[in-house]
Chain A
Amino acid sequence: MSRFLNFDTLALHAGQVVDPEFGARAAPIYQTTSYVFPDTDTASSIFNLERGGHAYSRITNPTVGVLEQRIAALEGGSAAVCTSSGMAATFCAITAILGQGDHIVASAQMYGGNISLMKNTLPRFGITTSFFDPTDTNACRAAIQDNTKLIYGELIGNPGLDILDLDAIGKIGTDHNIPVMIDATFNTPYLCRCFDYGANMTVHSVTKWMGGHGTAIGGVVVDGGNFDWGATDKYPTITEPYAPFSGINFWEEFGPAAFATRIRAEAMRDIGPSMSPMNAFLLLQGIETLSLRMDKHMSNTMDLLDYLSNHDQVSWVNHPSLASHSSHELAKKYLPKGAGSIVSFGVKGGREAGKAFIENCELASHLANVGDAKTLIIHPATTTHSRIDADALVAAGITEDMVRLSVGLEDVADIKADFENGFRAAKRIAKG
């Protein structure tokens, strides 16, 4: 084997050493808390980061390790750390490099949990955030302060679906020696590998398309290995000695994996949001078919965009693949295989008609998730984004009549037939 393996091959094989004892082809579920050391020297070497290996499953686990290395391979990152959820990944990634008095510049159009983390929770830790309109790159640059240590955004903004101009944002980061962290949940590495553009690290809720079956909660931080931490003195957690590990200097000793190693050594040990081996196994099963599923998500999405755009009960349709979308050109640049399978649209008749639509769909599930194999629908203003204030709702592009659709893998004719039931009910409401 002397050549790089392609995406679909990596999705099946990367990170797994076939079990040498029994030859298990699937990655075994190592449901264990801890690991027997062969001798004291090996034990101390593992604890002192002199060698790889497992000591305690809060920090590393062999099944989780396969998933981490598979995602690092697919994303083109130098290292990955899996966590118990996507939000845990985001928290661990941010607090690995930011602390009291530091500042984030973040897109205003993100998942409500991300916005709440930055608006409500992180300020209690002394970390503040300025939000910018993701369609206005200059606003990002203007928001940078002397204490800004991170630029954060979602490539496909949730739920307005504006596309972040990664190259432009990356240049701002480079100009200011600030890393760019992208929540890549909606695109997955199949649709866009963010490190090929301006990102320095990514976070994912692997609960969504990566896992793809709605069976396991999980998150991951991927270290792009492409940020020069040594070019500035702003990141002492990476470039200065870390006392709890015998004064280890992550940047000196781990180079392109310094950021991920810091998360492993600190957040996984001191905070401990570890992924369970069972969840890692389920998520690995999902990733094995990532490209097949994403292609089907995309073809169904394109079919439904055509259907919704021409439906007389639909007042508007929003998706970056539509020429009418303000991010259409950016979508073509960064997401040539498709701009994700989230679609938002307005049901004629406003809030009550939208409610009737959702309640009369039987195949599409009304729930607070995205990226399942099954088609999902929800009303963001009263659910996922209900805890953010009115101004933030407007900034996030959410309207009262908006239905968010996560396009699944069913036969698209059945999805349309299901929607027809919803639209008939909505029409009755609209007529009064």
Chain B
Amino acid sequence: MYFEVNGKRVFATTGGKPFDNNKPTVVFLHGSGFDHTVWNLQSRFFAFRNYSVLALDLPGHTRSEGPPLESIETMADWLHDVFEWLDINNVSLVAHSQGCLVGLELAARYPGRVRSVSFVTSGLETPVNDALLNAARDEPEAAIAMMLGWGFGPAGHLHQGPIPGNSMVSGGRKIMRGNTPDALWTDLNACNNYKNGVAAAGKVSCPTQVIVAGQDRMVPKKATDKLIEHLGSPAVAVIRESGHIVPQEAPDKCRTLLKDFIFENNPTT
């Protein structure tokens, strides 16, 4: 569905069911350069289990109007504006990669607005190497190749997607090409500049979950360990065989982990 936030058109898929702000809501937030479709093997599941679902496109990403937002803090405020606009309170936030930093900041700034946060492949902060950052600014196609090359693990590179006939890597490339030209650079720059992870994690009071990818080449293990340490006592699960883009590469295990956590912490009546 489309709606307007701060005068800009925003897109979110609702997983095939009408959005109803009286139900518990699962909000899915994508990572750098991606869009809502990264969650398509999780979002529809929750929509058909009596949750309202919003799998958002951040501004400047495929179907949401730009420009892309320049900092993690701005994205957190924007996400809060989405909640305000749609009048939703009972939210389980599920975030991937960059989206996790946004989720961290949102949960710290607006503690009453989320019932739980699921961090899928995240660090406490996410410094970005110069080669990727410069490519995102100067050679977007090269940057997309780096993102997908490092982002996917063996299953992705062997085109062994879980949906018969579908190629995750090729699909990912089309999504990234569909963003506004500066979206990836703006995203990565925002990640690189985010330094508030320790302080934010200390303020998160809702139940949290961290899903780790055993073959993650985008987020170093020590960065994830720091997130886990500063969140206190999150539920932690490792999907050994997956690369960074877990929602696509290990969708069934990811969905099961999310289901168990969200059903427990934000049950439907």
Contacts and interface: CB of A to CB of B under 8 A. Distances in A.
Interface of A: 1-5, 10, 13-17, 45, 48-54, 60-62, 64-65, 68-70, 72-73, 76-82, 224-226, 228, 230, 246-249, 252-257, 260, 264
Nearest to B63: A230
B157 A255 contact: no
19 contacts: A1-B157, A4-B169, A15-B159, A17-B155, A17-B158, A17-B160, A50-B44, A52-B162, A52-B164, A60-B164, A72-B166, A79-B163, A81-B165, A225-B170, A226-B174, A252-B13, A253-B40, A255-B36, A256-B174
Q: How large is the interface on B (under 10, 10 to 19, 20 to 34, 35 or more residues)?
A: 35 or more
Which of B37, B149, B160, B166 counts the most A-chain CB atoms under 10 A from its CB? B166
A55 to B, nearest CB: 10
10 tightest A-B contacts by CB?
A52-B162, A65-B164, A255-B37, A68-B165, A225-B174, A256-B174, A52-B163, A78-B171, A73-B159, A60-B164
Contacts of B45: 45, 50-51
A414 to B, nearest CB: 38
Interface of B: 13, 15-16, 35-37, 40-41, 43-45, 48, 62-63, 145, 148-150, 153-155, 157-167, 169-171, 174-175, 177-178, 217, 251-252, 255
Given A15-B158, A78-B167, A80-B167, 13 more contacts: A2-B149, A48-B44, A53-B162, A78-B166, A79-B163, A79-B166, A81-B165, A225-B170, A225-B171, A228-B178, A248-B44, A254-B40, A255-B35
A143 B63 CA distance: 31
Nearest to A241: B16
Contacts of B167: 69, 72-73, 77-80
A264 B165 contact: yes
Contacts of A61: 164
A16 B44 contact: no
B175 A255 contact: yes
Contact of A2 (B177, B217, B252): B217
A61 B164 CA distance: 8
Given A69-B166, A253-B40, A1 B160 contact: no
A60 to B, nearest CB: 4
Given A1-B157, A45-B45, A256-B37, A51 B162 contact: yes
B145 A54 contact: no
A16 B37 contact: no
Contacts of A3: 149, 157
A54 to B, nearest CB: 7
Contacts of B63: 230
Given A3-B157, A65-B165, A226-B177, A77 B252 contact: no
B252 A51 contact: yes
Nearest to A10: B159
A257 B171 contact: yes
Nearest to B14: A252
A79 B35 contact: no
A253 B251 contact: no
B165 A2 contact: no
A256 B158 contact: no
A195 to B, nearest CB: 9
Nearest to B35: A255
Nearest to B165: A68
Contacts of B44: 48-50, 248, 253
A69 B157 contact: no
Contacts of A10: 159
A97 B167 CA distance: 22
Contacts of A252: 13
B37 A5 contact: no
B158 A13 contact: yes
A251 B62 CA distance: 12
A72 B41 contact: no
Contact of B149 (A4, A80, A230): A4
A52 B62 CA distance: 24
A22 to B, nearest CB: 18
Nearest to A256: B174
Contacts of A50: 41, 44-45, 48
A51 B169 contact: no
Nearest to B43: A253
A257 B157 contact: no
B170 A72 contact: yes
Contacts of A80: 165, 167
A248 B15 CA distance: 8
Nearest to A68: B165
Contacts of A78: 166-167, 170-171, 174
Contacts of A257: 163, 166, 171
Nearest to B166: A79
Contact of B161 (A4, A69, A253, A255): A69
A404 to B, nearest CB: 33
A93 to B, nearest CB: 13
Contacts of B157: 1-5
Contacts of A260: 165-166
B5 to A, nearest CB: 18
A231 B169 CA distance: 24
Contact of A51 (B35, B159, B160, B255): B255
Nearest to A79: B166
Among A2, A53, A69, chain B packs the most CB atoms within 10 A around the CB of A2
A172 B211 CA distance: 46
